[in-house]
Amino acid sequence: MTVEQKVQQLHHYVNGEKVAGKSGNYASVYNPSKGEEIARVPLATREEVSEAIATAKAAFKGWRNTSVGKRVEILHRFRQLLVENEQELTELICTESGKTREDAKGEITRGLESVDMAIAAPQMLKGEYSVNVGGHINAFSRKDALGVVGTIAPFNFPVMVPLAITSMAVAVGNAVILKPSEKVPMSALFLCELWEKAGLPKGVWTVINGGKEAVDELLENKDVQAISFVGSTPIAEYIYATGTKHGKRVAAFGGGKNFMVIMPDADLEQTANAFLGAAYGAASQRCMAISGAIPVGEDTANRFVAILKEKISQLKVGDYQEAGVDFGPVITQQSKDVVIESIERAISESAEVVVDGRDWDIVKESKGFFVGPTLLDHVQPGMHAYEQEVFGPVRIVTRVSTLQEAIDLINAHELGNGVTIFTNNGGAARHFEDEIDVGMVGVNVPIPIPVGYHNFGGFKRSKFGEGHMFGPDQARFFTKTKTISEKWLTADEHATTAFSFPSNQDA
């Protein structure tokens, strides 16, 4: 696969083979920086998805019975191939998502953390053993793979999220079906090539491209045991409700409204730099992006906004192939329209525009889907820009008088993915950590996304289900625990009939 081809005809990947779509329905894949169609991806029917599930189910038994050492050996080779092919993978990410090269490389690095965690599967799969719990019976537990598991990835991380939600599932013995976003399918299809080169048996890793029809088959098919999803909150809620209705284990990760609280004692110059990268990186298309600043005190707010205004004006927005670009376009023209509409709505609701991303030359002149960085001040709860996750470079400032007021506002929001506080006061930081009702918390860390060996997940409507992404909980999510009580009669023992409930008092 090469990124130089003008309009590629893409495919599914089933049973270790490239498979053409049968539906006759296709979605266009764009280079967001150019506004040009670069590929067409087939959208699978429910029948095609069902056939892929059957193939994965057939491959599952052999993979489940493969030793965990052998499975990890394949993961080691896969990891090495990811490193060796970083440049090509980076170009694919940039071409289909519009990210800068630096951002794309960072995404690959974070994806490698998930592979590293999966390589630790032997440790994660160890059970428990008790000798002679009663009557010369030994009790032990084991962790078994679930079977066929479905994973559904978003457009904003074409590599990191697919690796995060599939690597452990593969390592512990499942057969995995990945449905990438139809907006960025090329990176996922490239991963198929690497898995094949690593020696993964056919059928263990499947990529099905599609829309709602494909998703619904994954959610409803009886042979799919679990679903891991990353995307927007409304879709996450649908995935959770539908999947659990059909008896599946579901972990559905939704959106976030992630605030940065700025205390009066914070170094505002450093805090502003942290805000810029965390707020506008990847054109703000991250579920852990800082959505808004909450400075404590009017003086703090005035100084912070003044510093931000100057720094934002110096940002460079453009094509990833240009030198010194800070961030690129949003993913589609529709996304651009929605972001611009959110700016206009904020103005109608009396927000103060500090920097207007609509005015940048590249927004007016380029065919790409660019929106300049926008900063809105005096945004209050109840306003659309405050309540909703704007998936584009529109960030807000909400002013408060006290730390407790900031905590109360954040806790009242329906989303609870990430949050951070910038302060040099340890007492304020500890109070914040204790009182905040958010899943991932940073102290002087702008994007508190955990490393691969810690669990990832938000609270409230940012996550549905008890599973986590990253960390040891992934191994628990993709396995089921079987507990066995075992006794072997010796030559001089004879089984007798007993009607009492068994207990550890038995001889």
Q: Which residues are catalytic?
A: 287
Grouping H, G, I as helix, E, B as strand and the rest as coil, residue 376 is: strand
**How many Å apart are CA 492 and CA 137, to the nearest integer?**
16
Q: What is the DSSP string of 68-102?
A: HHHHHHHHHHHHHHHHHTHHHHHHHHHHHH---HH
Contacts of 500 (CB under 8 A, 6+ apart): none
**How many Å apart are CA 253 and CA 233, to the nearest integer?**
7
Rg (CA), the chain: 25
**How many Å apart are CA 225 and CA 147, to the nearest integer?**
6
**How many Å apart are CA 416 and CA 404, to the nearest integer?**
17
Cβ atoms of 443 and 420 within 8 Å: the answer is yes
Q: Which of 400, 355, 401 is nearest to 376 (CA)?
A: 355
Q: Which of 169, 126, 164 is nearest to 146 (CA)?
A: 169
Contacts of 307 (CB under 8 A, 6+ apart): 268, 269, 272
Cβ atoms of 379 and 292 within 8 Å: the answer is yes
